[in-house]
Chains A and B, each alone.
Chain A
Amino acid sequence: MAHDNGKNGSNGTRSFKVLGSRPIRHDGVDKVTGHAKYGADLALPGMLYAKILRSPHAHARILSIDTSKAQIAPGVKSVVTGADFPPPPTGVAESGETPADYSDLARNVMAQEKALYHGHAIAAVAATTMRQAEEAARLISVAYEVLPPVLDVRDAMKDDSPVLHESMRTKGLQDAPDRPTNIAKYDIQELGDIDAGFAEADVVIEREHIVNTVHQGYIEPHAAVVRASEDGQVNIWASSQGHFMIRELCAELLHMDTSQIKVQPAEIGGGFGGKTTVYLEPVGILLSRKADRPVKLVMTRDEVFRASGPAPASYIRCKIGATKDGRLTAGYAYLAFEAGAFAGSAMGCAMEGIFAPYALTNLKIEGYDVCVNKPRSCAYRAPAAPNATFSAETVLEEIAEELGIEPLEIRLRNAAVEGVLHSTGVKWPRIGLKETLEAARDHEHYSAPLAPNQGRGVASGWWMNAGGLSSATLQINEDGTASVSEGSPDIGGSRAVMAMIVSEELGIPVDKVRPQVADTESVGHTAVTGGSRVTYATGWAVVNACRDAITQMRECAAQIWEVSLDQVEWSDGNAVLTGSRKSLSLKEIAEESHSTGGMITSASSLNAPGAAASFATHIADVEVDPETGRVLVTRYTVLQDCGKALHPSYVEGQMQGGAVQGIGWAINEEYIFNPDGVMENAGFLDYRMPVALDLPMIDTVIVEVANPRHPYGVRGVGEVPIVPPIAAIANAIYAAVGVRMTTCPMSPPRVLSAIKAKALEQ
């Protein structure tokens, strides 16, 4: 197993033949012609359909569940409740995006003692038709003791708040009171002396910001088909961001051997972090086991909103101080995040991100992870960083205005660069924030004229990017083509990139390489597709597999020529005998495989060391209608440090997609709950995400600052583009109509209310 220490990295000067070009993706034709197979597309003989009964209450004790009538309803083959689940293992599951307590995970999949949010799974039915399953689910009788819900993070932190978990005590807080609380965790990061830093400042601005719950909005609902055999083997076909994650979590939750479960990855219609855990699969295993039939489980859109994992709401208080020449002297932040029904929001990511772009030597960041009666939060593309950046980047904008310093200039004066300390105490390695700021400053957009009621805002953001476990297997076929199998579900064009890597390394055309995402029995363990890690980590595994295959092919050539290995080099897809004109092409070597010891096959598994951070600067132009408060985005540019962009089209796609999601988050998206904790806009009509007609083309500028750790200089690209938009839009609204928005989304009623309030003040 390769344990790459990252010492053979790139300085960014290498030129490539294939990488950096834009071949058509190998999975493209199937996707645009409707042949791609998604999680809900599979049908098996004898398959049943599942319906999950969900809690009508946001907070309630479950007193009893009577399934007797459902069990004998027409077409019903199995019924499960929480009682059918074995006791969860102790400890923490690490295979998703963030660690999660197994007990919480199990209770989120199906409630045990309490229903903790409206839509919480209570029971499930599998029947011959979907209609029969739905009717049978209605026959399940549940007795609840309804409890008052708590739906706001600040309310949940009060001493007299309703409590979700009687056993919860605040972790990380010295001398935490020994009484039930909704505050699951406290965390703190400190550098220097913030009192001294604020004392030194000529201007200090402190603001509060609220961001409401939003959903990732993936087009494809959660879906799985599960077949449990009499011999204990389980087959799962699922749409997810990690089929190894599904296998591992199902095995743990149901006390099975990992080897008993095979998961086949379906195509995935979006995930963005929301498909990095399990909801349906453990339920499907139990239903299928009881019925001895395959079971299909598909969430409706309504269920996706109510019962999957949205991004957490937050309350943030941010205070920044600066000298009159624009040097930042201190930063303080108080961040409280709604974890939802179970602990584990991405509060820590927000803490790391809030001041990341700046060289701040005095700072204090306090974070609270708080339970409320909402669905358990899940990752959403740079989790929690957009919330934090909204706060810091708008406060910084106020400081810039107060000091009369141009927005990009104040950022450049304080930009984090290599060697500067981050809030965690680690010095930054080579990073590209400054390059994105300079690119923004020099971009034509930044100085383009604006019309009345239009304004321009900028913001910068950061994301960490992950490394982790990845595997790949490479086969050189008899005719000299290649097949590469890897373990990362493809949510952004990564299969094409893997084929390009093989093409580049081996020196064969990219259309002679067939990439596939293999099931859990056909390739080595691979961590989730998330954390912007796939091109970096799985790509690295492919690189290693290629280089091993090249060594094997050199050995074959050496054998054919009857020379030693060190006399054979590899160049442009050919083995070359040193000091001669003799060469053998990859195809010729492959054709001789039978006589040189067998087919050329290589595999690589690695734990890629941490990927390098990426930064982005965004420029947003908006037009605000002062009579309605409607915000129209008229122009938008994303400038992002991507490291080496292996397939520029897909990198640009990530930049555009992330920006669009951030824009929707900024101007319209939020969960609207009634006082009983029921979401009132659980559909795309009323949970309004931007569509193509709502926005201009998102322009992109790829800034390439090579990651010195990676063989090609790759950095993660998928997450950072969602980080700056909320702040950029807020700053643009201020520039347009002079109101500072502090609650997100900045929807028409809120903007109009702010405009009117400002008019009254004047």
Chain B
Amino acid sequence: MRVEIPTRFRMFTGGVGEVESCARTVRALISELDTLFPGLGRELRLTSAVAVDDDIIADNLKSAWLQRIDHAEKILFVPAVSGG
């Protein structure tokens, strides 16, 4: 699956905006990204939710942690959901 890295996280990736992954779960993907780009995983955990094929599957990464994503074609990190 294609994993898109938004502009604001590219300071961790040296400008890389897209990677391929076969990760089974969100947890595995974050671990993989953190190995490739140290520090990115923590930043994603603190600030982001995840969209799987354009479906924002949970309000934040923590809630999506164990969800299976190996069926997906596209993964995108979006700001965590909030409100007032």
Contacts and interface: CB of A to CB of B under 8 A. Distances in A.
A680 B79 CA distance: 36
Interface in A52-86: none
Nearest to A187: B8
Contact of A426 (B8, B51, B58): B51
A380 B54 CA distance: 28
Contact of A466 (B54, B57, B59): B59
Contacts of A172: 8, 11
Contacts, number: 107
A376 interface: no
Interface string B1-19: 0001011100100000000
B57 to A, nearest CB: 6
User: What band does the interface of chain B fall in when counting residues whose beta carbon is under 8 Å from A?
Assistant: 20 to 34
B49 A531 contact: no
Given A99-B46, A187-B8, A190-B7, A381 B84 contact: yes
B11 A531 contact: no
Given A92-B46, A610-B56, A379 B62 contact: no
Contacts of B46: 92, 99
Given A189-B6, A610-B49, A383 B81 contact: no
A172 B6 CA distance: 12
Interface in B32-84: 46-47, 49, 51, 54-60, 62-63, 76, 78-84
Interface in A97-120: 97-99
Given A97-B84, A379-B83, A426 B76 contact: yes
A357 interface: no
Contact of B8 (A188, A464, A469): A188
A92 B8 CA distance: 20
Contacts of B82: 97-98, 346, 348-349, 379, 383, 464, 466, 531
A426 B4 CA distance: 11
B84 A719 contact: yes
A98 B76 CA distance: 21
Contacts of B81: 464-468, 531, 610-611
A272 B83 CA distance: 10
28 contacts: A92-B46, A97-B84, A186-B8, A187-B8, A188-B7, A189-B8, A272-B84, A274-B84, A348-B47, A349-B82, A379-B83, A380-B84, A424-B6, A424-B51, A425-B4, A429-B55, A464-B81, A465-B81, A465-B83, A466-B83, A467-B58, A467-B81, A468-B59, A468-B81, A530-B84, A531-B59, A607-B58, A609-B58
Interface of A: 5, 92, 94, 97-99, 172-174, 186-190, 272-274, 276, 346, 348-349, 351-352, 378-383, 424-427, 429, 463-469, 530-533, 607, 609-611, 716, 719
